[in-house]
Amino acid sequence: MSAKTKTGLNLETVWLREYARTYQPTEAGFWFSPELLREKNTTLLDVRHAFSVGNVMLSDKLDGPGARWTVIGEDCDGRLLLMTVIVVSAELSVSLESLERLVEASKDGKNEIA
């Protein structure tokens, strides 16, 4: 159960983009489920790309440390990913909780909702 939900998340978006683009050595940890990535035919490169160009749409403050963010961003091929991540910013910790592809190319080349 969340303590507080908020939207309009510029600060969170900036934080996530910086997390994904830093080129300096860091101990920031990233948790993910390899099975989830395989199941969704997605790679860590796709997730990192989606973080670096995406937007945090929703934030639920957790009762414990951290918050659950809902993120929408494009993978390396420009396809939209919808993700939820648990972020503990004080620990620079990000856990990928869920991932869905929002749009997939249909056989006739048009995009359709997956």
Partner 1 sequence: MEKMKSHKQKADEQIVHEYEVDTLGAPFKVSIIDVASIRIDPKTGKKSVQIPDLVGLINSVVRRRVSDKRKLNGPELKFLRTAIRVRAKTLAEFLDMSPEHLSRCEAGSKVMTTVSEKLLRLSVYLATYMAEPQDMFEKQVDEDEIVKKAGEPEDILKRIVNRFLLMKIQSVFDPSVELKYSFRRVDTSEQWSTEAA
Contact with partner 1 (CB under 8 A): which of 24, 90, 107, 108? 24
How many residues make contact with partner 1 (CB under 8 A)? 28
Task: Check residue 32 for interaction with partner 1 (CB under 8 A).
Answer: yes
Which of 3, 14, 45, 105 touches partner 1 by CB under 8 A? 45
Cβ 54 vs Cβ 73: under 8 Å: yes
Residues 106/99, Cβ–Cβ less than 8 Å: no
Instruction: Give the Cα separation of 17 and 112 in Å (integer).
Output: 27
> Under the rule (CB under 8 A), what is the footprint of partner 1?
20-35, 37-38, 43-46, 48-49, 52-53, 76, 95
